[in-house]
Amino acid sequence: MVYTDKIYEVGERPPLGVIPRKMYAWTIRNERLGSPETAFQVELVDVPEIRDDELLICNMSAGINYNGIWASKGVPKNVIDSNGDYFDEKQDFHICGSESSGIVYAVGKDVQKYRVGDAICVGGLKYDAKDKAILAGMDPCFSASYHIWGYEGNYGAFAQFSRVKECQCVRIAKNLTFEEAAAAYATGVTAYRMLSRWEGNTLQQGDVVLVWGGAGGLGLSAIQTVVAMGGIPVAVVSSDEKGELCKKMGAAGYINRKKFHHWGNVNQLSEREYRNWIAQATKFKRMIWKIVGEKKSPAIVLEHPGKDTLPTSLFVCGNGGMVVLCGATSSYKADIDLRFLWLNQRRIQGSHAGTLEDADKYIDLVERKDIHPYIGKVYHWSELPQAHADLENHAYNGKLVIQIGVK
Ligand code: NDP
């Protein structure tokens, strides 16, 4: 390996075997916290050194997600203050980005599967692979050492190079480009785990799945995955145009949520208001039945808006079914009517990211069913703050990605 002082511009790649000492990165610093437009700035920083179980990746493309928005705002946590807590040395800057595709430029001596020159996908779930409980068979997503790369840990994807652990890496599906691979990984593996991981409530052939935010990054990916696994996706969206896109991507139909008004917490409602809430939620459930063509309620509800929708998710879920939740875009302070949980023996299950096993199975599915993620927009490297602002404003459907290894 040769180290060089030469500065490579974004889009230029050093030859394999050559590693620059400095790289361009979008950094966040304490004094700039507030919004993606102010918080993110390009700086020239040191290329991180790798440890024995780590790889140095030359990023080609990266997915945009809410981690960058929250990191820019500094809430619910200040990522700069805590970035030394997760296998990294403490730095006064933070490089975000939790989903990437790229090329391996260096490997530590303990790395087994990958070699310099391999094209790989990098996911956000990072953990200590030598954790005794994991070695004994525990799901790595349950490990105390697990955290999200590029949010809780530093040296994420929004840089020319990233330092990653082998347990974050998977091969790129043969049918995908670098942009598609970066777009597919996080939402695809998250959706796949939500549908396949939770024993007793895994997706079965012909099951109805309600997908909130059907035209969003996670939603479109979930629709494709449900179809590929033999289920019947029903989308919830905020416009007919988005609903038609969901149908094009495989949804059996859609519900325009703007036609309903029963959103948010239920515990502050008066008895009269709550009766009205039940009437609205019942109407919503009947719309699902109408789309499906029979009185078949969702076996799985794929939930992520949180506060606004959780009471409805639980109400419309089939008996013995599961509301599986991976986020809380509208607020994480939600409430529910507990009767619908125990009387109908439904389950609320949290789900977060996915393991390497989930990722491998998902990539197999992507190849077998020739799934291509729906990309709302591919941004140039220089447009990264705008990409985050667009995500926050829901400016585009589907997944947003930036190019890094392209001029
Ligand atoms: P997007 O912004 O692309 O899509 C989210 C969609 O949710 C929107 O398009 C919108 O659709 C819908 N939505 C937003 N607010 C509400 C609301 N109040 N009520 C109902 N629907 C709403 O985001 P992503 O799909 O990328 O991510 C969605 C969520 O999933 C985020 O919270 C994200 O953090 C989480 N996530 C979690 C992961 C994990 O591993 N835990 C991985 C990936 C995502 P419309 O207006 O059309 O209804």
CATH number of domain containing 155: 3.90.180.10
Domain count, the chain: 2
Whether 394 is in the pocket of ligand 1, judged by its Cβ within 6 Å, is yes
Q: Is residue 207 part of a domain?
A: yes
For residues 239 and 314, membership in a common domain is answered with: yes
Binding site membership of 68 for ligand 1 (Cβ less than 6 Å)? no
- Is there a domain that residue 174 lies in? yes
Q: Which atom of ligand 1 is nearest to the CA of 329?
A: 32
Per-residue pLDDT of the chain (407 residues; tens, 9 = 90+): 899 999 999 999 999 999 999 999 999 999 999 999 999 999 999 999 999 999 999 999 999 999 999 999 999 889 998 888 788 888 999 999 999 999 999 999 999 999 999 999 999 999 998 899 999 999 999 999 889 999 998 999 999 999 999 999 999 999 999 999 999 999 999 999 999 999 999 999 999 999 999 999 999 999 999 999 999 999 999 999 999 999 999 999 999 999 999 999 999 999 999 999 999 999 999 999 999 999 999 999 999 999 999 999 999 999 999 999 999 999 999 999 999 999 999 999 999 999 999 999 999 999 999 999 999 999 999 999 999 999 999 999 999 999 998 76
- Residue 54 covered by a domain: yes
> To the nearest 5 percent, what fractions of the chain are helix, strand and coil?
30, 25, 45
Q: Are residues 94 and 80 part of one domain?
A: yes
Ligand 1 site, residue 377, Cβ cutoff 6 A: no
What's the rounded Cα separation, in Å, for the pair 320 and 314? 11
Q: Is residue 322 part of a domain?
A: yes
Rounded to an integer, what distance in angstroms lies between the CA atom of residue 127 and that of residue 246?
35
Tell whether 292 and 145 lie within a shared domain. no
pTM, rounded to two decimals: 0.94
Nearest atom (ligand 1) to Cα of 353:
40
Q: Could you tell me if 32 and 114 lie in one domain?
A: yes
The domain in which residue 294 lies consists of 198-350
Is the shortest distance between the CB of 187 and ligand 1 below 6 Å?
yes
| Residues 343 and 360 both lie in one domain | no
Ligand 1 atom at minimum distance from 242 CA: 47
Do 32 and 169 sit in the same domain of this protein? yes
Distance 391 CA to ligand 1 centre (A): 10
Residue 193 lies in a domain: no
Distance, in Å, from the CA atom of 306 to the CA atom of 117, rounded to the nearest integer, reads 41
State whether the beta carbon of 27 lies less than 6 angstroms from ligand 1: no
Residues 66 and 92 in one domain: yes
pLDDT of residue 406: 79
Check which CATH number belongs to the domain holding 294 and give it.
Answer: 3.40.50.720
State the DSSP H helix or E strand holding residue 165, giving kind and residue range, or none if neither.
strand 161-165
Domain assignment present for residue 213? The answer is: yes
Secondary structure class of 64 (helix, strand, coil)? coil
